[in-house]
Structure 1
Amino acid sequence: MLILLPPSEGKTAPRRGRPLDLGGLAAPALTPAREQVIEALVTLSERPDAATVLGLGGTQSDLVALNARIRTAPTARADAVYTGVLYDALGFAGLSSAARRRATSRVAITSSVFGLVRPGDRIPSYRLSGDVTLPGLGPVAGVWREALGPAVAEAVGPGLLVDLRSTMYAAFWRPPATSPIRVATVRVLHEHHGTRKVVSHFNKATKGRIVRDLLEAGANPRTPKALAGALGDLGWHVETGEATARGTQLDVVVSEV
């Protein structure tokens, strides 16, 4: 099983640590694309309109500076750099030793700069949303759409891909209809007074807790049906949609966060 997560906009900038070593990251086949994105991002950060292109406000010049020194800034484990609702609910640091070991091989994080990172990969803090168009390179999503397929296929192997990415980062790569990869996507629905809807905070927090539960339980389902069963055993209310050429959607229904 490979659990594919979105990144977070907010990050904890490492205060100390060795600088970025692209050769030390997982999925080394992505190194050429990573180098292209970093070069374009550093070049952009030297321009006066960098904040505007990156979709940042006038008070966020510090984030442009972060990008400018991405090659030399301190790094830390990705599971310590990414923050936010999903990552707070998942709580990498609080996982048991066994669950943390499982996370190293069963979790990957989509990244606008690095394409795909593992929890233990050492990365610096940066700010690059998935909908940005980098001058001279084009849309970030387009860069990764060409490169991510083989890397994800290698990472998931014969197992199940559990896709928890947001819409923005799902655009980086989707398995083609002819792909042999088994895919389960998860949607979280908040039910209140008989009405169901997607609420961002509930969605992110619930996905974080689902990942935590799967890692702690040691569950390693190989099909969407088996994943639904594993989540049901863990106390989640799951409704399974129809299987399609692009995977099976599982709806997790919650009444409170």
Structure 2
Amino acid sequence: MLVLLPPSETKALGGSGAPLDLDQLSHTELTPVRGKLVDALVDLAADVPASLAVLGLSERQAGEVERNAELRSSPTLPALARYTGVLYDALDLGSLTKTEKARASARLAVASALFGVVGGGDPIPAYRLSGGSVLPSVGPLGALWRPVLEPVLGSADEFVVDLRSSPYTSLARIPGAAVVRVVTEDAKGRRNAVSHFNKAHKGRLARAIVQSRAEPSDLKGLIRVAGKAGMRVDLTGPGTADLILGD
């Protein structure tokens, strides 16, 4: 199976891996677009005020621009260790066993504005680029990514679970993917999508998936894995399900 996670704006710094080598990333058919975006981001970083404006950053975040300037020379970390924040705190990669970490690298991937999609173990540097960004030399990222990323993700011959957030679903559609929504349910059974706890519970679901010896091949299998981890997930349609939180 393949679980596609959203990225995080924040990234862990440093790393012990060799500098970025695009040929070492999963899905080498994406290399030309990745190279174009890396070049554009590095070039943009030469103009700090312009970078701050394009990336929606404040002057206090100028360090993010410096990291973009060093994209090709800075050390790398596996993607699942590079991304930080609420979802990745809930996944808690560091506490997984060696076997579970191997499953995480095999089963989890991360959507990326810069790289399209990266495998959990792919070595990447720290960077700053959001799905909704518009680089002056490139234009909207969706227009650049959709023609190449949709065929890659759409051709996966495995069960795909799409947990991406909206800025990243717009970069590529995956018609056959299962979509899991995080919702609350009140005493009358009414459900509402949530935002505050959304990422944390997606991280918990990803953790349950990599801790399970079973590898779900459909939504019913995913629901069983979630249930064993103490989560309630209901099937809501042929390719949709709700992860339900108590109100």
Report the TM range for the smaller structure's normalisation.
over 0.9
1:213, distance to aligned residue in structure 2 (A): 0.9
1:20, distance to aligned residue in structure 2 (A): 0.8
1:14, distance to aligned residue in structure 2 (A): 1.2
Decide whether the 8 Å contact of 2:153 with 2:174 is kept in 1.
no
Tell me the number of residue pairs that the alignment of Structure 1 and Structure 2 aligns: 245
Structure 1 equivalent of residue 214 of structure 2 = 219
1:15, distance to aligned residue in structure 2 (A): 4.9
Q: Deviations over 1:139-161 (max 9, x none)?
A: 1222221111232245x32x211
1:9, distance to aligned residue in structure 2 (A): 0.5
SS at match of 1:214: helix
SS at match of 2:196: helix
1:16, distance to aligned residue in structure 2 (A): 4.5
Structure 1 equivalent of residue 63 of structure 2 = 62
Q: What amino acid maps onto 1:208 in structure 2?
A: G
Matched, 1:252 2:246: no
User: Which residue, out of 171, 182, 193, partners 1:188?
Assistant: 182
How many angstroms apart in 2 are the aligned matches of 1:4 and 1:28? 18
Cα RMSD for the two superposed structures = 1.8
1:76, distance to aligned residue in structure 2 (A): 1.3
Q: What amino acid maps onto 2:243 in structure 1?
A: V
Q: Deviations over 1:98-118 (max 9, x none)?
A: 211112221111111111111
Deviates more, 1:7-16 or 1:59-68: 7-16
1:233, distance to aligned residue in structure 2 (A): 3.8
1:17, distance to aligned residue in structure 2 (A): 3.6
1:203, distance to aligned residue in structure 2 (A): 0.9
Matched, 1:240 2:239: no
Q: What amino acid maps onto 2:57 in structure 1?
A: L
Decide whether the 8 Å contact of 1:190 with 1:202 is kept in 2.
no
Change over 3 Å in CA distance of 1:161–1:19 after alignment to 2: same
1:35-114 correspondence runs (5 A): 35-47=35-47, 48-114=49-115
Q: What amino acid maps onto 1:165 in structure 2?
A: R
Structure 2 runs not aligned, ≥5 long: none
Structure 2 equivalent of residue 229 of structure 1 = 224
Name the TM-score, length of structure 2 as normaliser. Answer: 0.92
Q: Deviations over 1:215-255 (max 9, x none)?
A: 11123222223322332343322221122xxxx21101112
How many angstroms apart in 2 are the aligned matches of 1:222 and 1:148? 23
Name the TM-score, length of structure 1 as normaliser. Answer: 0.89
How many angstroms apart in 2 are the aligned matches of 1:67 and 1:98? 33
Matched, 1:145 2:146: yes
How many angstroms apart in 2 are the aligned matches of 1:142 and 1:95? 37
SS at match of 2:242: strand
Change over 3 Å in CA distance of 1:153–1:196 after alignment to 2: closer
SS at match of 1:190: strand
Decide whether the 8 Å contact of 2:52 with 2:65 is kept in 1.
yes
SS at match of 2:130: coil
SS at match of 1:210: helix
Structure 2 equivalent of residue 169 of structure 1 = 168
Structure 2 equivalent of residue 31 of structure 1 = 31
How many angstroms apart in 2 are the aligned matches of 1:228 and 1:60? 41
SS at match of 2:181: strand
